[in-house]
Amino acid sequence: MQDFYQAIKHLAQSRVFALIAPAETAFPYIVYTPVASEQVIGINGLHGVVRLRMQVDVYAKTLLAASQLQDQIQGAVMAAIETVSDIRMVISGFEEEVHAYRISVDYNYLRH
C-alpha cells in the first residue's frame, strides 16, 4: 500500500487519504482503499509475488475536475509502478452525502 501512496501523494494538493477522508476536507481529494491481496502461486508453489487490487476514489466539485484528477493518478501510477496489469473504472456519479462528483477506478498490480 505504501508504494501506491508514494506514487500519488503529490496529487490533489497532497489531499490523499487511505480508506476515508476527514470530514470537511477541501475538494478535490483522493481516497485509496486496498480491496484485495492474493499470493501468486505457480506449479512450484509460492513465488513471493502478491497481486494487489487498489480502489482509488476521486471527489471533486465538477465531473471534469474529477476526470482530470483520475487521469493524473493513472499517469503517476503507471510511471511509478511497472507491474500494473489492469485498470478499470468502477463507478462515476454525484455523491449526495459529500455534495461532490466521484469517480472510482480499480488498479491491479503485482508486488515482489
Give the Cα-Cα-Cα angle 74, 68, 64 (nearest 5 degrees): 145
Q: Which domain holds residue 103?
A: 2-111
- Contact, 38 vs 51, CB < 8 A? yes
- Contact, 11 vs 30, CB < 8 A? yes
Domain count, the chain: 1
Provide the CB-side half-sphere exposure for 56 (13 A, CA): 30
pLDDT along the chain (112 residues), means of 10: 93 98 96 93 85 96 97 96 90 93 96 85
Query: What CATH number has the domain bearing residue 39?
Result: 3.30.2000.10
Cα-trace Rg, the chain: 15
Confidence (pLDDT) at 6: 97
Does this model's pTM top 0.95? My answer is no
